[in-house]
Structure 1
């Protein structure tokens, strides 16, 4: 369960898409919702008032009653990260940043993703119906397991959460590679069994598989084949971030998201 959702709204169309998703999740989890807009310090008071009116319209049209609006001035990534701490939220929602945006740039998104202490949901789909199909990239890291557990709690009980482990074998004979693949399948099955024992009842259906190949292409193919609405990534696993900078896989999905992306540290 999530209790307090913070959405950073930058007045673009994708921000309203993200607001619709945040509102749906707030209703699903009976959570508080706070909208944050970071004002550009270089703009004048008239431009700030125009932003306030636009946010009021979005709040009235898309947000549930009782939603709080915060408007603060400063550097977007720093203000967002500060508000994550000050509000005590347990989920941050952002709109997709596939197009260049001068103030709330892709660089800001990267910085937030690296340092955000709570799960981050990047919304890329114009659909606010409850999630039904999600794919989680799973390796043997604690972070990937944490992401799986958080996604399990995010999704409704009617959804399916499919864990995908991609195996890139060492060099060897076909027989040796087949044996390595079977070992990976046994280990992942045991890992999922152990993780499922710690999850609350009534959550989404869990499934899993092990594929041989490259992680990026395998995830892309699975998202398409399963018509997944959500991709789940652990932020420090093999397939996501390092502490210092974004890895190529996570950066790819953050900036070219084929569906909504849920990132957990």
Structure 2
């Protein structure tokens, strides 16, 4: 359940897109919304005051009544992670970045995604309507199943969540067709077992199994074919974003977001 959303805003246009999406989700879930800005270390008092006014106007324009503005100093990634814990936030929202010098790009974004204790939503599209079409990467890992469960909490009941499982057939395990049938049986059972724990009012779930196309390519094609607004990924919380299957996927798509990306550890 989403009760408190934290949006980290760095005064760029992509952050305003993220604020609009965070405000939409706050209204959908009747959740609190807090906007956090971390001041650059080289700003004058006059520049900080100007930034404060700009952020206050953005919050008033886009966010529900009662939303809070928080201002802080320090290293952006560290401050964001600290505030997630201090506020008891259930969801962290960031704007997708296009330039390497921006606050939450590069290693800062990796650090947040790796260490954040709550799901991360990276917003790249200019759309503040409720999500309708989402695509999820699905394997047999706990983090992938958890990501699908959290997506069911995030999405409205009218949405469709399409899960994609990709496997590589092995020569010594029989024909590709027989291995595909085995994968179908395993995924069918996984979906049946996991669906018992999904929240009431979950979106419609569809799923498919592919052999050998590669998960990143398969997801990209599925997003394009379905005009998906959201990509759902599980992420292992090891190393600099784990190079395990969904960890490496999260790292790839966070830096080359084809749509909004929802990452769950």
TM-score range, shorter chain: over 0.9
5 Å matches for 1:89-238?
A: 89-172=89-172, 176-212=175-211, 213-236=213-236
SS at match of 2:93: strand
SS at match of 1:7: strand
CA distance in 2, matches of 1:226, 1:254: 20
Q: Deviations over 1:202-235 (max 9, x none)?
A: 2110111101121110000000001110000001
Q: 1:35 is matched with which residue?
A: 35
Cα offset for 1:172?
Answer: 4.9
Q: 1:9 is matched with which residue?
A: 9
Structure 1, 86-95 or 160-169: larger mean CA deviation:
160-169
CA distance in 2, matches of 1:57, 1:172: 63
The answer on whether the counterparts of 1:98 and 1:256 sit within 8 Å (CA) in structure 2 is: no
Count of matched residue pairs:
259
Structure 1, 44-53 or 131-140: larger mean CA deviation:
44-53
Structure 1, 49-58 or 93-102: larger mean CA deviation:
93-102
The answer on whether the counterparts of 1:137 and 1:164 sit within 8 Å (CA) in structure 2 is: yes
SS at match of 1:118: coil
RMSD over aligned Cα, in angstroms?
Answer: 1.3
CA distance in 2, matches of 1:83, 1:93: 12
Q: 1:81 is matched with which residue?
A: 81
Cα offset for 1:87?
Answer: 0.2
TM-score normalised by L of structure 2: 0.94
SS at match of 2:170: coil
CA distance in 2, matches of 1:63, 1:102: 24
Q: 2:18 is matched with which residue?
A: 18
The answer on whether the counterparts of 1:123 and 1:260 sit within 8 Å (CA) in structure 2 is: yes
Q: 1:245 is matched with which residue?
A: 240
The answer on whether the counterparts of 2:164 and 2:209 sit within 8 Å (CA) in structure 1 is: yes
CA distance in 1, matches of 2:95, 2:199: 29
Structure 1, 179-188 or 41-50: larger mean CA deviation:
41-50
Cα offset for 1:100?
Answer: 2.6
Structure 2 segments unaligned to the other structure (5+ residues): none
Q: Deviations over 1:142-182 (max 9, x none)?
A: 11100000000100000001111011112358x62211111
Moved over 6 A (4+): none
CA distance in 2, matches of 1:55, 1:120: 21
CA distance in 1, matches of 2:57, 2:147: 34
Structure 1 segments unaligned to the other structure (5+ residues): 237-241
SS at match of 2:61: helix
The answer on whether the counterparts of 1:39 and 1:73 sit within 8 Å (CA) in structure 2 is: yes
Cα offset for 1:113?
Answer: 0.3
Q: 1:239 is matched with which residue?
A: none
Cα offset for 1:105?
Answer: 3.0
CA distance in 2, matches of 1:234, 1:31: 23
Cα offset for 1:102?
Answer: 4.0
